[in-house]
Chain A
C-alpha cells in the first residue's frame, strides 16, 4: 500500500497576500490600515477602501469560498487577482510562474495577458463581461484559445465542441450567438470559454446568482465535476451560503473590504464567531 498523499508538504497553488484596493484620493488618516472607517468609506476624504489587506490561500484541487454581502469587496478581490483591477498594495503568486517567487501584479502587461489566458479562467457574474455577445458560442471559445497562441483551427473547433458538450450546450446551438441564449446557457458558455486553455485556477464570481434553481443545480454539478475529475483549483464567490456549503471546504467571510472570519466552511456555518457571520448564518434559518 502506498502512503497517503500529504496535504501539508504541498505549497499553496495561489497565494494572495495583503491586497488593498481603494478608490479616491486617500489621506493621511485612512492610509493607516487600522483606521476606523464608515463601513469602507474614509470619514475625512471620502475614499472608498474596497479591499483592506485581504489574504487568501488556495491549494491544488481545492475550492475556496468567499461569502459576504453586496459591497463587501468580493468581486473587487476577484478582479484584482485576474488583473482587471490594479490594487494599491499586495501580491498574487503561484508556483506556476517563476516557482512562486514572482508577484504577478508587477508583471508587464504582455506577461499578465499570457498568465490571464493560461493560468486563470475567470467567470463573471455578468456574462456580458466574459462573452462577446455577437460572436457564436464556438468562436467565443476559440477566441480564448487564439489569445493563448493556438493557431490550429481544426483542433480548436474540436476542443470547442467537446467543451460545449461538457457544459451541456447542444452542438446544434454551437453556431448561435450567446445573445440568443438563456442566462443559464450564457453562464455555461462562459465556463466553457474559461476552461478552454485548461487553466489550473478558476475564478468564479457569483456564477449561479440570478439563475433559476434547476439551472443553478446544473452549473453547481458542473463545478463539482470539474474539481473532482480535472482537479482544478477554484475561488468561488457567492453571497449564497448554500452554494458555498456545497462547494467549498474552506471559506472566508468578507465585510466592508476585510476578511473577518476564515476557516472550515462547516465551522463557519455552524459555529460562527464574528457578529456579522452570526447574523448572516442566522438569517439563513
Chain B
C-alpha cells in the first residue's frame, strides 16, 4: 500500500507562471486554472475545468453560463477552495492580506477569508441540524460582528430584517429548518450568507429551485448588495434573471471557456 502523503496544503500545487495583477484592476483574476478529479479506484481523471482565465473587477456582477457538467461549479468551488485545483492561479485582492493566490494560501488563511471576505451560496439545501432559523442567521451575523464592532442588538435587528425580507415570517423563526420547504431552506441559506455582506460573493445557481416571487426577492437583494459595492461571481441557468443584473458573462463548454461576453 502506498503511504505517500497527499497533503492538501498548498506546497504540492504545481506552480504555473504568474504575475501579480495590479490590485486596482480586479478583485479576482483567475489564470489558466485547471482542475481534474483523479479517482484512485478506477485510475481515471474526471475533468472539471481546463485552462480557465477570467477576471472580476470590484463591484461587478459576473455571470458564468453553460450546460450542466460544463465545469461551472468547479470554478466557484476552486475559488472557495472546497476543490483543490492542480494548475493555474486564483489571484484575489484581499482586504486583509492584499493580492493573494488562493491556491497557495494556507488553510488558516482560507478560513479567515471565508469568515470575513468570501461568501458562498450553493444550490444544495444543506441546513444545520438543531439550529433554529433565527439562530442560523444570527450566528452568521455574529461571526463577523465582534471584529467589526457590531453589537448583538444590531445583529439581531439585521437578522429580523433579512428574515422578513425573504418572507420567512416570525412563526418560522424558532423552528428547525429541517422541517422547511426547499424554497424556505434556500432563502434561509441566502440570508445567512448575505448578512455577512461578503466582499466577494460566489453564487452557485442559488435560484434553481425557487418560485418566481422568491427569485424576485433574491434578485432584489443581489441588486441591493451590488449597490453597496459587493462583488459577485455567479452561475445562473435563468438568463432572464441575469438580465440587467449581470455586467459581463463567460460561457463554459465541456470544461473550457467558450466565449467572453
Contact = CB atoms under 8 A, between A and B. Distances in A.
Interface in B145-180: 146-149
Interface string A1-27: 111111110000000000000000000
A263 interface: yes
B24 interface: no
Contacts, number: 96
A1 B109 contact: no
Given A260-B5, A263-B7, A1 B149 contact: yes
B146 A261 contact: no
Interface stretch (A143-151, A171-179, A187-195, A272-280): A272-280
Nearest to A217: B130
Contacts of A228: 139
Interface string A200-222: 00000000000000000100010
A41 interface: no
A273 B96 contact: no
Nearest to B5: A260
Interface string A232-267: 000000000000001001100001101111111011
A258 B5 contact: yes
B98 to A, nearest CB: 12
Interface stretch (B78-86, B204-212, B233-241): B78-86
A56 to B, nearest CB: 13
Contacts of A134: none
A271 B83 contact: yes
A273 B8 contact: yes
A92 interface: no
Interface residues of A, number: 38
Given A39-B1, A273-B8, A7 B147 contact: no
Interface string A86-107: 0000000000000000000000
Given A8-B108, A275-B40, A264 B8 contact: yes
Contact of A250 (B39, B41, B111, B139): B111
Nearest to A272: B6
B123 to A, nearest CB: 14
Contacts of A279: 40-41
Interface of B: 1-9, 37, 39-41, 77, 81-84, 96-97, 107-112, 116, 129-130, 139, 144, 146-149
7 contacts: A6-B96, A7-B112, A39-B1, A250-B107, A261-B5, A263-B9, A274-B5
Nearest 10 A/B pairs, CB to CB: A263-B8, A274-B6, A273-B6, A275-B40, A4-B147, A7-B112, A271-B83, A5-B147, A2-B149, A261-B6
